[in-house]
């Protein structure tokens, strides 16, 4: 009789927990088309610092029904029927991992030869010519988990912060799974590439002798999560489609805010730093946000002007925690757009992937008569034109100033690759148009406040 009573109580408790965890659709604005999707299995965690994190699996769902006339939309029906199955599948996969259940798929098992090659590559993880595409293949698509875990160990962070290695791996698995593998560019491989570049910058003499373990920890987490849950479209697309994220963040650094809040949500859910004081956890969340928000390309001119001013005055003091944090922001900005500074073989692949993502957005915009965004029209744009404009207006000014700050062999190598890659794309451009002096007009039409001035290498 006692056992039966216990079972009944257990069933009631399970049903109560399930009802509490069941997602629902809520509205964070008066705009009824800005659906804030809450998925079954999501976890609501409120911050004592005053904001609510993005929750597990709540990736930016694009509901294309909002493009139709209002007469065709029944909000109650939409709210009742919307299901984000891909996100839920990712949640289930990670849940199986948490419970130690092996996924029955023999193709996911790597033999010793592949594992051995991946380990050999990690021994050279600080080399600028590190091939992240090869490493991703050798790790069966787990490049972000494998590389970031290795870097945590390499920098002594696991021991210094007394991290539970199982919690760390679980956190990294959740991060990797919340990148969208269907995105040609903004996916976990890009995040792994940025994290590897950040590691290279952390090794630079000026930084390595000044950074604290806390600085390194923030840098690696921010690099790994800087594009977390990216939907594969840009901020203007989210704004003009009345996406709930654009409303939530008031059309300001929409994606970057989402990446940051999503990262904070996973940190809390994983409990990786639960052993730290509340004050330190809140400080970590805030400073990770500062780093990720710095990757907003629309703020490029502001950060670059500050960087130039510091270099002109010669007043950067890396013993000052605020100055170190600013340099880490600039380092993450460099890591985020360093593709043109890689070898041609790697840079070309990234150029093709980001252009494919641009063109995919343009195809959607054409289909729904939204007006094609700059750089997204496959009928009028080319990879060469886009890359030359990108290098001229964004990459060269940033890396020119970085070389002023850290005039090392790595900086000169990056500028050397940048020059060669730009020349290669100009060669492609000449073959396509018969002229090598064209710069993509889409870059020239951008707001001048977004475009930095030409670099000064003195």
Paired residues of 52 in beta bridges: 46
CA distance 34 to 26: 10
> Per the annotation, does 325 bind a ligand?
no
> Per the annotation, does 187 bind a ligand?
yes
> Per the annotation, does 136 bind a ligand?
no
> Per the annotation, does 188 bind a ligand?
yes
Q: Are 121 and 138 in contact (CB under 8 A)?
A: yes
CA distance 246 to 229: 15
CA distance 304 to 393: 12
> Per the annotation, does 363 bind a ligand?
no
Q: What's residue 433's pLDDT?
A: 83
Supply the angle between the helices 165-177 and 143-154 in degrees, to the nearest 10: 140
pTM > 0.75: yes or no? yes
* H-state helical runs in 406-440: 409-433
> Per the annotation, does 369 bind a ligand?
no
Q: Are 157 and 213 in contact (CB under 8 A)?
A: yes
CA distance 57 to 119: 31
Q: End-to-end CA distance of the chain, in Å?
A: 85
CA distance 309 to 329: 15
Q: What's residue 264's pLDDT?
A: 98
> Per the annotation, does 190 bind a ligand?
yes
Q: What's residue 398's pLDDT?
A: 98
What is the C-alpha radius of gyration for the chain, rounded to an integer number of angstroms? 23
Query: Dmax over Cα atoms in the chain, in whole Å?
Result: 89
Q: What's residue 34's pLDDT?
A: 30
Q: Are 164 and 176 in contact (CB under 8 A)?
A: no
CA distance 197 to 410: 11
- The one catalytic residue in 59, 186, 259, 360 is 186
Q: What's residue 114's pLDDT?
A: 77
Q: Could you confirm whether 68 is annotated as catalytic?
A: no
What domains appear along the chain, each with residue ranges and CATH number?
16-98 (no CATH), 110-332 (1.10.1300.10), 337-458 (1.10.1300.10)
CA distance 278 to 412: 42
Paired residues of 27 in beta bridges: 35
Q: Are 180 and 59 in contact (CB under 8 A)?
A: yes
> Per the annotation, does 243 bind a ligand?
no
CA distance 211 to 205: 10
CA distance 194 to 332: 8
pLDDT by 10-residue block (mean), the chain, 458 residues: 65 53 32 28 35 54 49 37 37 50 44 83 98 97 98 98 98 98 98 98 97 98 98 97 96 98 97 98 98 97 98 97 98 98 98 98 97 97 98 98 98 98 97 67 50 37
Give the H or E element holding residue 200: helix 188-202
* H-state helical runs in 271-382: 278-293, 300-313, 321-336, 344-367
- And the tokens for 335? 């890591």
Please report the DSSP string for 257-269 in residue order.
Answer: HHHHHHHHHHHHH
> Per the annotation, does 384 bind a ligand?
no
């Amino acid at each position: 009789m006692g056992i039966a009573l216990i079972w009944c109580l257990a069933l009631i408790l399970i049903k109560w927990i399930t009802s509490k965890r069941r997602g629902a659709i809520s509205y964070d604005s008066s705009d009824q088309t800005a659906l804030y999707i809450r998925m079954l299995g999501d976890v609501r965690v409120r911050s004592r610092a005053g904001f609510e994190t993005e929750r597990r699996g709540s990736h930016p769902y694009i509901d294309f029904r909002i493009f139709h006339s209002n007469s065709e939309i029944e909000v109650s029906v939409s709210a009742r029927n919307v299901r984000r199955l891909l996100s839920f599948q990712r949640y289930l996969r990670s849940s199986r991992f948490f419970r130690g259940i092996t996924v029955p798929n023999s193709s996911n098992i790597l033999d010793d030869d592949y594992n051995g090659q991946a380990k050999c590559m990690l021994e050279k993880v600080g080399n600028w010519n590190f091939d992240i595409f090869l490493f991703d293949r050798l790790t069966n698509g787990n490049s972000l988990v494998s590389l970031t875990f290795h870097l945590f160990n390499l920098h002594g962070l696991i021991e210094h912060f007394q991290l539970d290695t199982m919690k760390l791996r679980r956190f990294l698995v959740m991060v990797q799974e919340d990148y969208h593998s269907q995105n040609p560019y903004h996916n976990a491989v890009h995040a792994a590439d940025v994290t590897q570049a950040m590691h290279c910058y952390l090794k630079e003499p000026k930084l390595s002798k000044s950074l604290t373990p806390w600085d390194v920890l923030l840098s690696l987490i921010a690099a790994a999560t800087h594009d977390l849950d990216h939907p594969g479209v840009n901020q203007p697309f989210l704004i003009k489609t009345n996406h709930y994220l654009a409303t939530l963040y008031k059309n300001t650094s929409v994606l970057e805010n989402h990446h940051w809040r999503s990262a904070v949500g996973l940190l809390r859910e994983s409990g990786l730093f639960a052993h730290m004081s509340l004050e330190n956890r809140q400080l970590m969340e805030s400073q990770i946000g500062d780093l990720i928000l710095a990757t907003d390309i629309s703020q490029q001119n502001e950060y670059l002007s500050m960087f130039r001013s510091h270099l002109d005055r010669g007043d950067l003091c890396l013993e000052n925690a605020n100055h170190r944090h600013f340099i880490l922001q600039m380092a993450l900005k460099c890591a985020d757009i360093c593709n043109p500074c890689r070898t041609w073989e790697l840079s070309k692949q990234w150029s093709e992937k980001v252009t494919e993502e641009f063109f995919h957005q343009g195809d959607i915009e054409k289909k729904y008569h939204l007006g094609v965004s700059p750089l997204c029209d496959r009928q009028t744009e080319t990879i060469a034109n886009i890359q030359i404009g990108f290098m001229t207006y964004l990459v060269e000014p940033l890396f020119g100033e970085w070389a002023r700050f850290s005039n090392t062999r790595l900086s000169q190598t990056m500028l050397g690759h940048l020059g060669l890659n730009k020349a290669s794309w100009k060669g492609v451009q000449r073959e396509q148009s018969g002229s090598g002096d064209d710069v993509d007009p889409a870059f020239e039409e951008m707001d001048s406040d977004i475009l930095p001035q030409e670099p000064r290498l003195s």
